[in-house]
Amino acid sequence: MLIWLIIAVLVGLYMAWNIGANDVANSMASAVGAKAITMKQAIIIAGILNFLGAVFVGCHVTETIRKGIVDPSSLSTSIVIYGALSALLAASVWITIATWKELPVSTTHSIVGGLLGFGIVAGGAINWIKVGEITAAWIISPMFGCVLAFVVFSILHNTIFNSKRPIKRCKIVAPTFIGLAFFTIALSFLFKTPLGKNLEISEITAIFYSGIIGILAMAGGYFLILRFYSNTSNGIKSVESTFRWIQVFTSCYVAFSQGANDVANAIGPVATIYTITKTNELSSSVEVPFFLLIIGGLGIVLGISTWGYKVIDTVGRKITELTNTRGFTIDFSAATTVLIASKMGLPISTTHAVVGSVVGVGLARGLKAIDLRVIKNIVISWAITIPSAALMTIFIFKILVGIT
């Protein structure tokens, strides 16, 4: 059993590396594309925040990745180990291929495809309704993000950039969006979350506290912007500078929450194998060891620092031209999409939400502002993610069973 645990930890580290290499674009692509920060700065910031999110918040979400897709109760512990390992390795290989081709794919969909393949080949009971809900994220996430980004950027464009006095308008509009951004971030930490439960905060109270935080942020942003414009000239360039630091902050939030959520895709199956090797039985609830969270966090950092630039370049530069206001719109829209959909119980993919938001910003400027060739390649990669991971899992599973 010990040898399988060692192999699982190594494959989990490989999966975490893939998550870092591919998913870092979710948080930092818009900031790099808009030149708010450099590629080197993005990799350092994303590495630190992803690690902190994975290690200190990840334990709250790691359990969920194993639930709902396959019912392992009728399977032996050895078959579950082979299946979890096969799904993890297959998902990892698929993400490596996608990252090599500089394509942003959903790591969650990759591992779900792997688990689906395991369920098919092992004869476990597959929850097809759950699979359908998760697959629906392929449409829900980008559409929601696209529409919201289109609306938000249209508001910014019409109220600020089309105004004869953009600075004056910015003093009113920018603090409003700062308040909304802080409200969204606060709500994501307090509303229907383990932190909210630990603090014994009701849903209404969470909304109230988040509203207070948003109002305070709006007031603080207003005075800071007044001070900023007291020493600057009137112009669009000054407006973009205002949104630069707001965008960096929202990118940092996305990076932190990304580490907390995505580490489950790497260490969830490993935690299952760890529990089996320790107790020799299956359990409906698994306590995730702290060392697995650290391994997952380190793997994500390694992925960010080595191959992270590949998908950042695609999302941040190749789909459409970005500025600071467009970058802020993308981060705000993607974060809001993930928050609303997840709290409503709808399936969601952060990767798809971010790409959808980038497209929405581009569409607000006209169809010619988008590179449709890049979008076509991304959509194709999304469509084949689940079946590709499933087929590779079946292949790997048969090899493992055959050699043991």
Q: Residue 367: CB partners within 8 Å, gap ≥ 6? A: none
Query: How far out from the chain centre does Cα 126 lie?
Result: 25
Residues 115 and 151 in one domain: yes
Give the span between the Cα atoms of 309 and 349, in whole angstroms: 20
Residues 154 and 186 in one domain: no
Task: State which of 233, 258, 289 marks the end of a domain.
Answer: 233
Residues 255 and 108 in one domain: yes
Task: State which of 195, 217, 233 marks the end of a domain.
Answer: 233
> Can you tell me whether residue 126 is helix, strand or coil?
strand
Residue 338, pLDDT above cutoff 90: no
9, 99, 110, 321 from 306: Cα distances, Å: 20, 11, 21, 25
Residue 247 in contact with residue 30, Cβ under 8 Å? yes
Residues 43 and 160 in one domain: yes
Task: Name the band, by pLDDT with cuts 50, 70 and 90, for residue 400.
Answer: very high
- For CA atoms 56, 137, 353, 310, give the dihedral sign: positive
pLDDT in tens, 179-201: 998 998 888 888 877 677 778 88
Residues 289 and 272 in one domain: yes
Q: What is the Cα gyration radius of the chain?
A: 22
Mean per-residue pLDDT over the chain, rounded: 87
Residues 244 and 229 in one domain: no
Task: State which of 206, 233, 260 marks the end of a domain.
Answer: 233
**Structural domain that includes position 308:** 2-165+234-403
pLDDT in tens, 349-377: 889 999 999 999 999 988 888 999 999 99
The DSSP symbol for 58 reads: G
Tokens of 218: 């709006």
Please count the residues of the chain.
404
Residues 304 and 361 in one domain: yes
Task: Name the band, by pLDDT with cuts 50, 70 and 90, for residue 232.
Answer: low
Residue 173, pLDDT above cutoff 60: yes
Residue 67, pLDDT above cutoff 70: no
Number of domains observed in the structure of the chain: 2
Residues 243 and 342 in one domain: yes
Q: What is the model's pLDDT at position 230?
A: 63
Residue 34 in contact with residue 247, Cβ under 8 Å? yes
The residues with which 126 forms a beta bridge, in sequence order, are 70
Residues 95 and 238 in one domain: yes
Q: Locate the DSSP E strands across 44-101.
A: 70-71
Pairing of strands 125-126, 70-71: antiparallel
Q: What is the model's pLDDT at position 345?
A: 66
Residue 66, pLDDT above cutoff 60: no
Residue 302, pLDDT above cutoff 80: yes
Neighbours of 403 (CB within 10 A): 6
Residue 179 in contact with residue 214, Cβ under 8 Å? yes
Give the span between the Cα atoms of 96 and 107, in whole angstroms: 11
Which of 92, 91, 69, 93 shows the shortest CA–CA distance to 80? 69
Give percent of the chain above pLDDT 70.
92
Give the span between the Cα atoms of 136 and 252, in whole angstroms: 28
Residue 38, judged by CB atoms within 10 A of its CB (0-12, 13-18, 19+), counts as exposed
Query: How far out from the chain centre does Cα 264 lie?
Result: 12
Residue 121 in contact with residue 394, Cβ under 8 Å? yes
Residue 234 in contact with residue 167, Cβ under 8 Å? yes
Q: Residue 121: CB partners within 8 Å, gap ≥ 6? A: 83, 393, 394, 397, 398
Task: Name the band, by pLDDT with cuts 50, 70 and 90, for residue 64.
Answer: very low
Residue 151, judged by CB atoms within 10 A of its CB (0-12, 13-18, 19+), counts as middle
In this prediction the pTM is: 0.88
Residues 252 and 381 in one domain: yes
Give the span between the Cα atoms of 361 and 333, in whole angstroms: 10
> Which comes out higher in pLDDT, residue 237 or 387?
387
Q: What is the model's pLDDT at position 281?
A: 75
Give the span between the Cα atoms of 351 and 44, in whole angstroms: 20
pLDDT in tens, 88-125: 999 999 999 999 999 999 988 899 899 899 999 987 67
pLDDT in tens, 125-161: 788 888 888 778 778 889 999 999 999 999 998 998 8
Q: What is the model's pLDDT at position 25?
A: 82
Residues 143 and 175 in one domain: no
Residues 222 and 274 in one domain: no
